[in-house]
Structure formats: C-alpha cells, structure tokens
Amino acid sequence: MLAFIGGTGLTRMANLEITARHDITTRFGKPSAPVLEGELEGQKVLFLARHGDPHILLPHQVNYRANLVALKEAGASAIVAANAVGGITDQAPTGALVLPDQIIDYTYGREMTLFDDLAEPLVHVDFSWPFDAALRNALKVELSASSLSWTDGGCYAATQGPRLETAAEIARLERDGCDIVGMTGMPEAVLARELELPYAMLSLVVNPAAGKSTHEITMAEIEAVIHDGMASVCQLLADFARQYSPA
C-alpha cells in the first residue's frame, strides 16, 4: 500500500476518506500520530503526520524509527514524504517543488538505525542513491503532467534545527553541493532503506535560505507559501495515488 508522510503544512489530507486508524506501538515506542488508512481518489493509502496532529513535535523530537516501523506494520509498500524546505540554489525558487536525488546529513544525536540491538546482526545498508529510482520516476511522470513548477533532482541538506541556519552555514551547504535545506530528511530516508521500503521525497520550497534574499526570513512569509503550496502537493499526491502501481 502506498504511504504518505506529511510534514509542516500537511498535518492532514483534506481529500483522504479515513477508513481506519492504526494506533501502533513499536519496539521503538509510539509514532508521531496514529497511522491513518483511507481512500484517496479511490485508492487505498496510508498517511502519517510526521510532527503529530496537531503539529507539536520539533524535527529533532520526531521518533523517526517508530514512524517508519509503524508504517511498515500497517502495510506500507512504498513511501512518498512531503516536506517544507529552504531554497539555496537557483534551481530551487520559492514556491517550486523539488524532487531531490541526493542528501547530505548534518544532523546529530538522532537515532539513526534500526539495527542497534546487540542481540541482532549488524547491518550496513547501501545508501549511495538514497531515493528509490522507480518511485522517483513515477513521481516525475505525475509532475510533468501537472501545471506545477518543479525541479528534477537536487541535493537535500538535512540540518538539526529547530532554528533556521545562518547565512554562513547556508554558504557552506552550497559549497558542499546542496540545493535545498530541511530538518526532517534524515534519519527518515535511511530508516526506510533499512526496512526495504521504496522512499522518495517531495520538497516544497517555502523560503529563500539565509543570505539568499535581501530581507529577514519571517514565519508569516513561510506560512503564506505553505498554505498555497501544500494544497497543491495534497492534490498532486491524490493524483499520484490514482496512477501509481507498486512493483
């Protein structure tokens, strides 16, 4: 079953007809919210609010391990994760969607693996290409058919948060080759890989990153873009659910 993880601005999917709520407790604890099962454009899907419902969890407080394991236990076979990001390079203008193909992890102190039980074998997963190619290609087809502004490819910088970055930090990320910056891409992406769940990320650029505009970043500015942009993301995901066929 296709699963969606909703980030900032996508705590609920207005077009999801909920048929079941899975209140799952994993060996890593409880996820951010119950896993919702429902009908989206006639297709059965799962949905999980990354930051809780209501939105109460900061990026470093999210129990990513419980979230991913709960989705797997609820029947997820592939995951599309939506998130709000800052734009660093010209290929990530405010209001556009980015379908990243790479990620650099700058987080620290987060639980990064499911394989930390000394009674279990140690596993090192290949993470050369962090996002599933087939799932990304399917999303590209849907994005190409839409009227939305979007970019194919880009590197996502996963920072710790919850504060926004300094201009010097953004300059460093750009030198490292990053195009967008967010706070939730890791360890979410690698945990999906450990669970052998195809995973792709759909990132809405909600503001120019620090030092990339002539004015101070304000939450009012970000929230205005999120309001309109996440509504478009929600509809795109519904259209995608109708067309997507898991391998």
Q: Return binding residues for substrate.
A: 183, 207-209
Q: Which of 165, 126, 150 is nearest to 201 (CA)?
A: 150
Q: Which of 101, 103, 113, 105 is nearest to 68 (CA)?
A: 113
Pairing of strands 2-6, 78-87: parallel
- Could you tell me which residues are annotated as the binding site for phosphate? 8, 50-51, 184
Helix or strand run (H / E) with residue 83: strand 78-87
Cα angle, residue 210 at apex, residues 206 and 214 outer, rounded to 5°:
90
What Rg value do the Cα atoms of the chain yield, rounded?
17
Alpha helices, DSSP H only, in the chain? 64-74, 133-145, 167-176, 188-194, 219-243
Pairing of strands 199-208, 2-6: unpaired
- Could you tell me which residues are annotated as the binding site? 8, 50-51, 183-184, 207-209
The residue written with tokens 């990304």 in the block is: 136
Q: Which of 25, 24, 18, 70 is nearest to 39 (CA)?
A: 18
Pairing of strands 35-40, 43-49: antiparallel
CA–CA gap between residue 197 and residue 34 (Å, rounded): 19
Q: Are 173 and 181 in contact (CB under 8 A)?
A: yes
